[in-house]
Amino acid sequence: MIANEPEKNERQIWMGLLARAAPERLQALLQDLPPHTLLRGPEVGAVMVRGRVGGTGVPFNLGEMTVTRCTVQLADGPAGHAHIQGRDKRHAVRAAVVDALMQTDRAYALRAGVLEPLAAHETATRALRAAKAAATKVEFFTLARGEDA
Amino acid sequence: MYVAVKGGERAIDAAHAWLAEERRGDTAVAELSVAQIREQLSLAVNRVMAEGSLYDPDLAALAIKQARGDLIEAIFLIRAYRTTLPRLGASRPVETADMAVIRRISATFKDLPGGQVLGPTFDYTHRLLDFKLAAEGEVPVAPTAPASLGQVPHVTAILGRDGLIQGEAAGDETPPDLTREPMELPASRPLRLQAITRGDEGFILSMAYSTQRGYGRTHAFVGELRIGAVAVEMDIPELGFAVQIGEVELTECETVNQFKGSKTEPPQFTRGYGLVFGQTERKAIAMSLVDRALRWKELGEDFTGAPAQDEEFVLKHADNIQATGFLEHIKLPHYVDFQAELELVRKLRAEAGATRDAAE
Amino acid sequence: MIAEALLGGFASAPTASARVFRAALEAMARPGTIWTVEGAAPPAPLSIAAGALVLTLCDGTTPLHLGASLDTPVLRDWITFHTGAPLVAAKAAQFALGTWADLMPVTRFAVGLPDYPDRSATLIVEMPDLGPHGPRLTGPGIATEAHLTLPETAAFRANRALFPLGFDTYLTCGNRIAGLPRTTHVEAV
């Protein structure tokens, strides 16, 4: 379920998932964080979102979005990074810690305990919206005219 | 000219206190939460995000609450807040072809790949006030149908395959950013689109409407209108690759417009483009019409003097925060300016009187 | 990215950068005065002062030119991680960081446009020594005269002659900074 984005590496997939997750949902799945130091942030800032002229042409600046970033280092362990939408600093720290833990031998447990449930919830939410949209799809039919009968 | 005047502090404090009270309204009525505004006034939230030029539904909802529902005041609050944020970078251009569409319609093709998806639209409502909403009640669950989650192709891509519509020049140049550098005219199309997408909805709507009524007519059809969520991806230097940092909901409109063709080019349709934060359909359609009208020069059309063709007129008057700032400043103390004018008028009147007396 | 590059940023960016910015402002407003800064721990051989200035003044919108003697992988990574500043050639730089020898000839740097004199480069020059002695400084921000160790005088005199165009300069050594704006008259003594 997580690996349905074939062009992305594993780390890109989990970082994206963490960034898109609702803060309270991630917190519920991972209550306690292991000891870590903050190397940068958590810092709230803005990222300029770009579009393309005509959808396919040269880039233009559409507007900014709020983003919080954080880099942590586990005691005796790897560094973890997070850039997450919104202004929730605790969420950014938690996402960065998960990114770091995913590079340790806890990865297997985290995948089952945190990432899979997040992905399942996201997939279900998306599927529900798509299903509601599908219900509003127009099924055209043409009335038979007399001369064609 | 402005002169600092002291002595208003007590009055200002009292005005602020009363403002807060009026904002709250009758305390016998339950207070609105920011979450309620975000969820139940979502199109107002979308407008504040689009024109505030900052995608953050919670902040936009807070701004609406603080501004007592005055959306331009709320946009002002968002614009002020965004200036305090460090710029962490710029995203890769969003891929609207990959949008998870909740609405997607075309006025040019009935049967098109992906179909006509109406989504949560006002279009087929009867615009009759629904008094049931005055009473609280349960909302029935919207029906669902089996969905395919695949990519929905753009209508312009379908036309483009047969060369029937002009392609967009590809490239990856860093676009100009009017929030960082003063706008210089003539503006490139990326700069124009940035100014229009954050411009006032009412102004852009009126400009677009004027082209439909003949002031810079472009014979537009809505080739496609789509609304949905797109992923935002950014290159992260410390990682050496791009990651998704979130998702934004966008409205995109592509118009298909008339083109005469020339000696060197066969007749082709031309395009207007609108892309706006949130569910902001009226704005996106209007944006694409104004974008197309402003393209007269590059498409070899005549300048007819229409306001919507006048780049300076459109771009310099589209921003409702600039407009509000300049408009509303004239209510602030101009005592010295006015005293000078008053003196002048009195002097001129006295001189005119003296001349008259001398003549008599 | 090299692990060492992730270390040595401001522990509390808002307060640390505000303090460094105040020192930078004072230094530029009062040419010849020397200020101390703290909070940055950049990889060698960059000084604390130059590191603190980079953390405070640079971000993703300020192209930075890195002098040859400082152009190491770890320093590149450190600047990229902590500021996001794009590393560019001298001509495109808003900031330039290096020893005087690195930055010569300084005529390569932007001096602004008549319409926008602010579109000019700011040089951050690492000095072996920094003290209130050496060439005489006069001009705005200086009551009578001041003295400051400078790498040379001719380049700064030529720069002064371009006013209102010209680059501005910070001189750094250890944890100390001094400023030399384009407005200052420099004379060898």
pLDDT tens for the 189 residues of chain C, in order = 788 899 999 988 889 999 999 999 999 999 999 999 999 999 999 999 999 999 999 998 899 999 999 999 999 999 999 999 999 999 999 999 999 999 999 999 999 999 999 999 999 999 999 999 999 999 999 999 999 999 999 999 999 999 999 999 999 999 999 999 999 999 998
Expressed as residue numbers, the domain containing B67 is: 10-82
pTM of the predicted structure, to 2 decimals: 0.91
The DSSP line for chain C is --GGGGSSS-SSHHHHHHHHHHHHHHHHHSTT-EEE--S--PPTTS-HHHHHHHHHH--TTS-EEE-GGG--HHHHHHHHHHH-PPB--GGG-SEEEEEHHHH-SGGGS-B--SS-TTSB-EEEEE-S---S-SSEEESTT-SS-EE---S-SHHHHHHHTTTTS--EEEEEETTEEEEE-TT-EEE--
The verdict on residue B328 lying in a domain is no
The residue assigned the tokens 């720069």 is C159
Chain A residue numbers with beta carbons less than 8 Å from the beta carbon of B178 are 61
B293 with B318, same domain: the answer is: yes
- Clarify whether residues B317 and B209 are in a common domain: yes
Helix (H) / strand (E) containing A49: strand A36-52
Does any domain span residue B77? yes
Residues B104 and B237 in one domain: yes
Domain ranges of chain A: 10-120
* Same domain flag for B78 and B115: no
- A11, A40, A89, A99: best to mutate for the C interface, most C CBs within 10 A: A40
Buried b (16+ CB within 10 A) or exposed e, B29-49: eeebebeebbeebbebbbbbb
pLDDT in single tens digits along all 360 residues of chain B: 556 667 789 999 999 999 999 999 999 999 999 999 999 999 999 999 999 999 999 999 999 999 999 999 999 999 999 999 999 999 999 999 999 999 999 999 888 888 899 999 999 999 999 888 888 778 889 999 998 777 888 989 888 888 889 888 889 999 999 999 889 899 999 999 999 999 999 999 999 999 999 999 888 999 999 999 999 999 998 888 999 999 999 999 999 998 767 777 788 899 999 999 999 999 999 999 999 999 999 988 899 999 999 999 999 999 999 999 999 999 988 888 899 999 999 999 999 988 888 887
pLDDT digits (tens, 9 = 90+) for B177-230: 999 988 989 999 999 999 999 999 999 999 999 999 999 988 899 999 999 999
B179 contacts in A (CB within 8 Å)?
61, 64
Contact B244 A20 (CB under 8 A): yes
Interface test with A, best of B144, B196, B224 (most A CBs within 10 A): B144
Asked if the structure places residue B58 within a domain, the reply is yes
Neighbours of chain B (3+ CB pairs under 8 A): A, C
* CATH of C3-187 among 3.40.50.11310, 3.30.2010.10, 3.90.850.10, 3.30.200.20: 3.40.50.11310
- CA dist B357 and A23 (Å) reads 83
Gap from B92 CA to chain C (nearest CA, Å): 15
Instruction: List CB contacts (< 8 A) between A71 and chain B.
Output: 238
**Positive/negative CA dihedral, B276, B278, B284, B290:** negative
Interface test with A, best of C2, C4, C7 (most A CBs within 10 A): C7
**Residue B69 located in a structural domain:** yes
Q: Is B59 close to A66, i.e. CB distance below 8 A? A: yes
For residue B237, tell me if it sits in a domain. yes
Crossing angle of helices B71-82 and B42-52, in 10° steps, is: 50
The answer to whether residue B139 is domain-embedded is no
Contacts of B226 in chain A (CB under 8 A): none
Token pair of A103, please? 């590079």
Task: Indicate the domain borders of chain C.
Answer: 3-187
DSSP, collapsed to helix, strand or coil, labels residue B164 as: coil
B293, B261 Cβ separation under 8 angstroms: no
Which subunits count as partners of chain A given 3+ CB pairs below 8 Å? B, C
Are B46 and B101 in the same domain?
no
Decide if B115 and A138 are in contact by the 8 Å CB cutoff: yes
Sign of the alpha-carbon dihedral angle for B69, B73, B75, B81 = negative
Name every residue in A having a CB less than 8 A away from some CB of C: 39-41, 43, 71, 73, 79
Helix (H/G/I), strand (E/B), else coil: B172: coil
> Is C82 in contact with A71 (Cβ distance < 8 A)?
no
**Residues of chain A contacting C7 with CB distance shorter than 8 Å:** 39
- Interface confidence: ipTM more than 0.90: yes
Tally the domains of chain B: 2
Please judge whether B91 and A49 are an interchain contact, meaning their C-beta atoms are less than 8 angstroms apart: yes
Which of C3, C9, C82 is closest, CB to CB, to A79? C3
Q: Are strands A59-74 and A79-85 parallel, antiparallel or unpaired?
A: antiparallel
